[in-house]
Amino acid sequence: MIVAVGSNQRAVEGRPNVIVREAISAIENRGAMIRKTSRFYQTPCFPAGAGPDYINAAFLIEVPWSPEETLEHLHAVEAQFGRERVQRWGQRTLDLDLIANEDVVSPSLAIHDKWRNLDIEIQKTTAPTELIIPHPRVQDRAFVLIPLMDIAPDWIHPVLGKNVSEMLDALPAVDKIAVIPLNAQQ
């Protein structure tokens, strides 16, 4: 499974880069096997102006859980780091998104299409009530795709039929240059 991680707020645990690193360890402590982790990146807050810059990364995990159980574990780790789900796309100490489970499309192609094509204004205030994989907006987000290039460049989106590089190439240059690799993760 592919997971994206981001933080743009301090917490008891420290600065966002520390939170991201410790969150990955917390998921491993719950029983996930971390197979590969991307570099850390500084990225502008999304949507623009909603808060300070993020630290983003992505990682591959192998787990004994279903995707829904994996999401429950990710949400529990978010809560452990002080995440409160009060504002969609707002500032947060930790954000963990299940991006993909190999070539699985869930819960259905029709529901995936609905959420992937949802108007941006509706996306700002509406969240799905069920897990949708692959993440319906992975193809739109340089802050997810660039870390994915580090860990799963050959992953092919099962709906769009494009690999990570092709999806990244389709994004505006301004989105891509705003994702800045950090020299040190530790």
CA distance 178 to 28: 30
Q: What is the DSSP string of 79-109?
A: HHTT----STT---S-EEEEEE-TT--BS-H
Amino acid, single-letter form, for residue 148: L
CB of 74 closer than 8 Å to CB of 83: no
Residue 86 has a pLDDT of 56
Residue 84 has a pLDDT of 67
Q: Averaged over 43-65, what is the pLDDT?
A: 87
- Strand pairing partners for 67? none
Amino acid, single-letter form, for residue 102: E
Could you count the other beta carbons within 10 Å of the beta carbon of residue 149?
Answer: 17
Q: pLDDT at residue 125 above 90?
A: no
What is each CA distance from 110 to 106, 114, 132, in whole angstroms?
9, 6, 11
For the chain, first and last CA: distance in Å?
Answer: 24
186 confidence band (pLDDT: 50, 70, 90): very low
Residue 14 has a pLDDT of 63
Residue 163 has a pLDDT of 97
Q: 186 CB contacts (<8 Å, ≥6 apart)?
A: 21
Could you count the other beta carbons within 10 Å of the beta carbon of residue 34?
Answer: 14
Q: Whole-number mean pLDDT of the chain?
A: 89
Residue 16 has a pLDDT of 83
Closest CA to 55 of 101, 23, 98, 12: 23
Q: pLDDT at residue 4 above 80?
A: yes
Structural fold of domain 2-181 = Alpha-Beta Plaits (3.30.70)
8 confidence band (pLDDT: 50, 70, 90): confident
Q: Give tens-digit pLDDT for 101-116.
A: 999 999 999 999 999 9
